[in-house]
Amino acid sequence: MAKAKVASSFLSKQGVEWHRLAHYSFFVGLLIAILAGFFHTYIAPEVLVTTLVVLGLIVGLFNLTAQETTPFLVASIALMLAGIVNLGLIPGIGIYLRAILSNIVVFVVPGAIIVGMKTIWKLASD
């Protein structure tokens, strides 16, 4: 009985650690997306996209609870649709806004794919 309680405690602690890692990944990914938008001419696109995709996958795999799934998917759809707008037409800051939004979309899409697949799997299982 005591071993089962210790094992359960260990597993729940690991779940908390993965959840915390995903939270940090979200904030780091968002920060990278914003900063890279301002300095987009100095950053290699391959490195940036790879970094944002990996962080987005971590967020999608480990961060969301069942209650957060629908708001996350709706927000992802809104960001993807907003990414279509050509913000580069705004004088002065448009090019930066376009780069920032594009980076955020690259960051969010992998997580949205994972969460969408998890949601479909859960719906099919029920």
- pLDDT digit string (tens) for 65-77? 777 788 888 988 9
Distances (CA, A) of 101 to 1, 28, 98, 117, 122: 52, 15, 5, 24, 30
In this prediction, residue 113 has a pLDDT band, given cuts at 50, 70 and 90, of very high
Segments making up each domain of the chain, as ranges = 2-125
Answer whether residue 4 shows pLDDT above 50: no
Question: Per the structure block, which two tokens stand in for 26?
Answer: 């979200």
In this prediction, residue 28 has a pLDDT band, given cuts at 50, 70 and 90, of very high
Q: What is the DSSP letter of 85?
A: S
pTM: 0.78
**What's the average model confidence in pLDDT over 93-104?**
91
Say which residue, 93 or 87, is predicted with more confidence: 93
| CB neighbours of residue 10 within 10 Å | 10
CB 34 within 8 A of CB 100: yes
